Amino acid sequence: MKRIILWSIFCGCFVFGAVLAQDKQTEPSKKRGIVVERNPDVTINLPEYIEYDKSWAILVGINKFKHWPNLNHAINDVDAMKSMLMFTYGFKEENIKVLRDKEATLDNIKTLLDGDFITRIRENDRLIFFWAGHGETRKLVGGRESGYLIPYEGLLRTEKNAYATYLSMDKIKQFSDKCAAKHILFLVDACYSGFAASKKGLPPLPAELKNYYINLTTEPGRQIITAGGKDELVVESGDWGHSAFTYKLLHALSHRMYAADADKNGLITTNEIASYLVDKVCKLTEYKQKPVFATLSGEGEMVFIRKDIATYYSEKDTFFIPIDTTRYEEPPKPPTIPLDYVRFLKDEYIMGDTFGDGEANEKPPHTVTVETFYILDHEVTNKEYFEFVRETKAHYPVWMGRIDPLTVRDGCSYDFKKMDEALIGDNYPVVGVSWDDAQAYCEWVGAKNNVTGRLPTETEWEYAARLGGEGVRFATGTDHLSESDANFLVKSGVDNWRYTAPVGTFGRNQLGLADMAGNVWEWCYDVHTGYAGASSAGSRMRVIRGGGYNMFDWHCRSTKRLVLPISDGMATVGFRVVLIARGDVTRK
């Protein structure tokens, strides 16, 4: 049954139940209702609308193409969108599919558009399709045009059968027609034209029209907003950390600004987003780029509910409405970097085995560039990670019981059970965390600090481990490891730590980093590839670095690389966080 939420705030404190589509008011409900705080100086009347049952998203970002020129910030764009959708608009992580770089092949994209993921979407749900990458316009006979999105392996337009390797807008239109979602919004951070639009945009109806938002959120609709028109180039800048389009899109919808809510009524419509983007992106790029807005079908459009007006926590919880209208004009909060992160500035260094004693996948040594980044000075601890689990009620380590969280669940590897205090102690590194869950934690930390959070790339990790790209063998700054330097498997003598040691037990190196050699292996962001251009080990495989308590010292070298399936959570693998911030930051 479709539901309408009536929001009315008076100078008292009341709890209202949900109002059904027949406008018949029900009794107040403990499972569904409005919690209103008393504020005698403020009266707010929020419009009526029909809520969505579930929210879904497909996010595609490609920095590194096989044939086309590389981009700089598409991955940042996707990561920021994912964080915003989850933490500002309540999208569940299991309802978001992300394809990055080599994962974004034509086959993988088509599988998402035609596969099981889409069949789970129902008629009162909404779907966002976000693309950050290249686009192309093809001129057809009779002056018509056709638009395309370029997947990772798409050929250059001058190559034979190149357009057969692209994702056509005809395919997008077919997908939008057959998908059950009530509302679909395509946000395409690429410049192209030729999509099959029924009309340009939607006529902005007067907000005072009776049942305006009910009609808008009842009728199905599919809209598309692209970053620009044909023959325009996407503008990126390191100062923004994003493309111009995504940078302003985040301003439009982010909980720090809600800049697209022109009428300040708490509901942000697709029309408002498009109007804001056309104005702001044009000005930001000095009119080199003008977003295009069009309707593919239908009269309805997606709406976003401002988090500072109403936050919906779960299907059995209530809406909470703070009444402080000063938050409407709240300036964006500055990005912050905690003091336990070490900053590295943009630099070049020689990556790989420069000593000649490494394995094949550490060779050849090659020059790489790292952009400015901040890396956590220690491995993420149990105390830090368990706070994330409690808040999200998800992303459990593979060993963690659901009834008693500090008990190893039945059927789990005996490796965890024998770790005792090392498995659950506050200051020990968390283990048994998959790549996906580790990345989710990093994004969570980034969102709390208004910056981008993720796992370190291999380039970043090795740069930090080599004391800023220096020619050192171990992260301790030495050519040899002793028992007093790191936690690793010693060949003789007494091994003081049979399993993990509390983080920082062995002190910190010259740059203030702890345990970059030994203790636990650490997840990196990258898909595993060979430095010499060898084929990938697969998009479901990721690199781990640093060695662990179960390995000899040779495995703790700064250049050592191993590969692991992203779904694996092992007793010997943990991780640390990288934060990316542009411009001025506050250290706290």
Cis amide prior to 364 (ω within 30 degrees): yes
User: Is the residue at 318 inside a domain?
Assistant: no
CB 575 within 8 A of CB 438: yes
CA distances to 45, 106, 159, 580 from 102, rounded to whole Å, are 48, 10, 20, 22
Q: Which of 265, 289, 308 is the last residue of a domain?
A: 308
User: How far apart (Å, rounded) are the C-alpha atoms in residues 532 and 365?
Assistant: 9
Looking at residue 313, its amino acid is Y
pLDDT of 10 reads: 24
Q: Among all chains, which residue has been given the structure tokens 């305006």?
A: 212
Do 379 and 282 share a domain, yes or no? no
Q: Which DSSP string do the residues of 210-267 spell out, in sequence order?
A: TTHHHHHHHS-EEEEEEEE-TT----EETTTTEEHHHHHHHHHH-TTT-TT-TT-SSE
CB 112 within 8 A of CB 60: no
* Residue 195 pLDDT > 70: no
pLDDT of 25 reads: 34
* Residue 8 pLDDT > 50: no
Looking at residue 548, its amino acid is G
User: Is the residue at 319 inside a domain?
Assistant: no
**Lowest mean pLDDT segment, chosen from 184-193, 243-252, 368-377, 416-425:** 184-193
CA distances to 165, 166, 227 from 157, rounded to whole Å, are 10, 10, 20
User: How far apart (Å, rounded) are the C-alpha atoms in residues 179 and 499?
Assistant: 50
Q: In whole numbers, what is the pLDDT of the chain averaged over residues?
A: 80
The residue ranking higher by pLDDT, 214 or 155, is 155
CATH number at residue 88: 3.40.50.1460
Q: Quick check: helix, strand or coil at residue 387?
A: helix
pLDDT of 143 reads: 67
Do 259 and 134 share a domain, yes or no? yes
* Residue 149 pLDDT > 60: yes
The residue ranking higher by pLDDT, 35 or 281, is 281
pLDDT of 538 reads: 52
* Residue 223 pLDDT > 50: yes
Do 9 and 151 share a domain, yes or no? no
Looking at residue 14, its amino acid is F
pLDDT of 234 reads: 73
Total domains in the chain come to 3
User: Is the residue at 380 inside a domain?
Assistant: yes
The residue ranking higher by pLDDT, 278 or 37, is 278
Do 363 and 509 share a domain, yes or no? yes
CA distances to 277, 315, 448 from 300, rounded to whole Å, are 20, 24, 34
For 588, other C-beta atoms within 10 Å of its C-beta total 8
pLDDT of 327 reads: 30
Tell me the CB-side half-sphere exposure of residue 248, using CA atoms within 13 A. 27
Do 359 and 283 share a domain, yes or no? no
User: Is the residue at 64 inside a domain?
Assistant: yes
Maximum pairwise Cα distance, the chain: 82
Residue 244 has φ and ψ, to the nearest 5°, of: -60, -40
Going by C-alpha positions, the residue among 85, 17, 127 that lies closest to residue 3 is 17
CATH number at residue 366: 3.90.1580.10
> pLDDT tens digits, residue range 224-270?
999 887 667 778 776 677 888 998 998 888 765 688 888 877 889 99
pLDDT range class, residue 4, cuts 50, 70, 90: very low
* Residue 36 pLDDT > 60: no
Task: Read off the pLDDT of each residue in 141-151 and give the average, rounded to a whole number.
Answer: 81
pLDDT of 238 reads: 66
The residue ranking higher by pLDDT, 400 or 550, is 550
| Residue 18: both structure tokens together | 């949900």
Going by C-alpha positions, the residue among 420, 435, 405 that lies closest to residue 500 is 420
User: Is the residue at 412 inside a domain?
Assistant: no
Q: Which residues contact 500 (CB under 8 A, 6 or more apart)?
A: 419, 422, 428, 429, 431, 487, 519, 520, 549, 574
pLDDT of 67 reads: 93
CA distances to 59, 117, 389, 451, 540 from 565, rounded to whole Å, are 21, 21, 22, 28, 6
CB 77 within 8 A of CB 131: no
Do 293 and 384 share a domain, yes or no? no
CB 258 within 8 A of CB 306: yes
> pLDDT tens digits, residue range 463-483?
999 999 998 999 999 889 988
Boundaries of domain holding 453: 341-398+425-587
Do 15 and 83 share a domain, yes or no? no
* Residue 559 pLDDT > 50: yes
pLDDT of 22 reads: 31
User: How far apart (Å, rounded) are the C-alpha atoms in residues 350 and 339?
Assistant: 28
User: Is the residue at 304 inside a domain?
Assistant: yes
Do 12 and 66 share a domain, yes or no? no
Do 259 and 355 share a domain, yes or no? no
The residue ranking higher by pLDDT, 29 or 507, is 507
Q: Quick check: helix, strand or coil at residue 559?
A: coil
* Residue 5 pLDDT > 70: no
User: Is the residue at 316 inside a domain?
Assistant: no
Do 391 and 537 share a domain, yes or no? yes
DSSP character at residue 455: P
* Residue 315 pLDDT > 90: no
User: How far apart (Å, rounded) are the C-alpha atoms in residues 298 and 219?
Assistant: 7
Question: β-pairing, 521-527 with 573-574?
Answer: parallel
Going by C-alpha positions, the residue among 515, 571, 547 that lies closest to residue 380 is 515
User: Is the residue at 44 inside a domain?
Assistant: yes
Do 347 and 442 share a domain, yes or no? yes
The residue ranking higher by pLDDT, 306 or 238, is 306
* Residue 555 pLDDT > 50: yes
pLDDT range class, residue 138, cuts 50, 70, 90: confident
pLDDT of 383 reads: 94
Highest mean pLDDT among 21-25, 225-229, 254-258, 360-364: 360-364
Do 44 and 77 share a domain, yes or no? no
> pLDDT tens digits, residue range 316-329?
333 333 333 333 33
> pLDDT tens digits, residue range 60-116?
999 999 999 888 889 988 988 998 898 888 899 999 999 999 999 999 999 999 988
pLDDT range class, residue 135, cuts 50, 70, 90: confident
The residue ranking higher by pLDDT, 258 or 206, is 258
Q: Which residues of 507-545 are buried (b: 16+ CB within 10 A; e: fewer)?
A: ebbebebbbbbbbbbbbbbbbbbebeeeeebebebbbbb
